[in-house]
Amino acid sequence: MLNISVLNFRNYMRTGRPSNYPIKVKKLYFAQASYFLQPISYFLLLISGLLFQPVSAQNPAPAKPQTKPIALVGGTVHVGNGTVIDKGTVVFDKGILTAVGDASTTFDRNATEVIDVTGKHLYPGLIAMGATTGLVEISSVRATTDNQEIGALNPNVRALVAYNTDSEVIPTLRNNGLLLTQATPQGGTISGSSSVMELDGWNWEDAVLKKDDGLWLTWPPFFTREFNFEDFSVSLQRNSRRQEVINNLAQLFSDASAYSQIKNPSITNLKLEALRGLFSGNQNLYIRADNSKDIIEAVKFAKSHGVQKPVIVGAEDALRVVDFLKENNIPVVLGETHRLPNRQDEPVYQPYQLPSLLQKAGVTVALSYGEAYWRTRNLPFVAGTAAGFGNLDREEALKMITSTPAKILGVDKQVGTLEKGKLATLVVCKGDILDMRSNGIEHAFIRGRKTDLDDRHKRQYKKYNDKYEIGNK
């Protein structure tokens, strides 16, 4: 049977077929596909008609463009760079911040919609790095996952065109203050390229903020973890294929480096073309590595092949190589922080303290929630944990999910802080956005568009609250 990957098919259709692609081969492939898939499509159509007909709730429609200036007055403004303005004023028009200041900030009140946010807190839209939100809907249903491609070396794969703006997971993130995400591919040694997406839009063309910001590489580790289902133990096994994978990577990067010297190649090689931005500095190379030796080796590999902007992702052992990271100016995107330490001799709270320890050592640190999708909504509380357990100033913790990710992603001139001239992508919160008890998003604006904060969770709550009349007794 013809094995067609959805992500590969979309990329193939976007990039176009070579002009010399045989017509007969195209007809044969699509004939085979239709032969095998036709009875399946009839079956799925029948099942969808039976199962999904009663479902009426849908995601809210994307917000309409801003039509008049808006001023948020009286709230505490957390700029995102460490500055806090009490009783501040934030004004934006046509999706751009036109004024950010204290109570003395002036604007035309007659032509502006004024929203009193006294007692509330204003924050830049939070940024989720390394997430699969929009690429995975239900992890146990294969047809709803579109986050990885078959094969080991897929630099030409683009998560951008697989991003699903209709995902029901996306509104749940907005309700915790997350307004931007880095749609990230998974699988293989080189997974493909990620893109920075806004969490509101009709399609990926509407939602994209920055296309193909970087390539994702999973560095082959010295050891692999194997789980024993009999006694539920985890053991380390030496990675026997490690050197073979590194040799293949070295060959690919050498070819790509040579290819990048050709300005206008007569024949375009899609895989090598996808790596071109790594050598010019237009793209980051995100390297997934946790072990200290793996981190050092991966960075040296990238530097030796002319990669301009390597970024370490995961970095569970980053504290052991902190001097190396600082000397080489390597940013770190930490993976899941709400976890136990990997070594028995490490303090149980070390994962919580790691962001603070790295930041105080002079390493550029951003936070992520690993490659989770629906759990990504808990990212602000990860920053709150880092502040609480690491004795870290809360504004410094906020920077790890706002301005620092924006700088790493190369979108800091547009988002990440509340400053004049940047996009009006911000939220109004009842209390501390890093605290799960007081985090309550009342308004969310993406490019000045007032975003609907309805989501599946709220609809389910209302449904069963009405059924059992909770709070009415």
From first to last of its 473 residues, the chain has per-residue pLDDT tens of 334 444 444 444 444 444 343 433 333 333 444 444 455 554 555 445 444 444 445 678 899 999 999 999 999 999 999 999 999 999 999 999 999 999 999 999 999 999 999 999 999 999 999 999 999 999 889 889 999 999 999 999 999 999 999 999 999 999 999 999 999 999 999 999 999 999 999 999 999 999 999 999 999 998 877 777 777 777 778 888 899 999 999 999 999 999 999 988 999 999 999 999 999 999 999 999 999 999 999 999 999 999 999 999 999 999 999 999 999 999 999 998 999 898 888 999 999 999 999 999 999 999 999 777 888 999 999 999 999 999 899 999 999 999 999 999 999 999 999 999 999 999 999 999 999 999 999 999 999 999 999 999 889 988 898 888 765 55
Contact (Cβ atoms closer than 8 angstroms) between residue 89 and residue 101 = yes
pLDDT in tens, 311-368: 999 999 999 999 999 999 999 999 989 998 988 889 999 999 999 999 999 999 999 9
Q: What is the pLDDT of residue 295?
A: 97
Q: What is the pLDDT of residue 99?
A: 97
φ, ψ dihedrals at 247, nearest 5°? -65, -40
Q: What is the pLDDT of residue 240?
A: 85
Contact (Cβ atoms closer than 8 angstroms) between residue 392 and residue 359 = yes
| Percent of all residues in the chain with a pLDDT value above 70, rounded to a whole number | 87
Structure tokens, 350? 């070390």
Contact (Cβ atoms closer than 8 angstroms) between residue 163 and residue 23 = no
Burial of 409 (0-12, 13-18, 19+ CB in 10 A): buried
Region(s) of the chain under CATH 2.30.40.10: 65-125+416-473
d(CA 390, CA 375): 22
Which residue type does 214 have? G
> 232: left (phi > 0), else alpha (psi -120 to 50), else beta?
left
Q: Superfamily for 126-414?
A: Metal-dependent hydrolases (3.20.20.140)
d(CA 192, CA 214): 8
Give residue for tokens 């794969």: 157
Residues whose CB is less than 8 angstroms from the CB of residue 381 and which lie 6 or more positions away in sequence, other chains included: 434, 435, 436, 439
pTM: 0.85
Region(s) of the chain under CATH 3.20.20.140: 126-414
Q: What is the pLDDT of residue 39?
A: 54
Torsion over CA: 433, 435, 441, 447 (sign): positive
Q: What is the pLDDT of residue 470?
A: 66
* Strand 113-116 relative to strand 70-78, pairing: parallel
Query: Helix (H, G, I), strand (E, B), or coil: what is residue 118?
Result: coil
Contact (Cβ atoms closer than 8 angstroms) between residue 376 and residue 369 = yes
Residues whose CB is less than 8 angstroms from the CB of residue 130 and which lie 6 or more positions away in sequence, other chains included: 182, 184, 194, 286, 313, 333, 335, 368, 370, 371
Among 465, 417, 453, 429, residue whose Cα is nearest residue 173: 453
d(CA 329, CA 208): 28
d(CA 282, CA 285): 10
Q: What is the pLDDT of residue 262?
A: 93
Q: What is the pLDDT of residue 43?
A: 52
Question: In this structure, which topology does domain 65-125+416-473 adopt according to CATH?
Answer: Urease, subunit C; domain 1 (2.30.40)
Q: How far is CA 187 from CA 67, 152, 193, 219, in A?
A: 43, 7, 12, 12
Structure tokens, 472? 């009415």
441-468: buried (b, 16+ CB within 10 Å) or exposed (e) per residue? bebbbbbbbebeebbeeeeeeeeeeeee
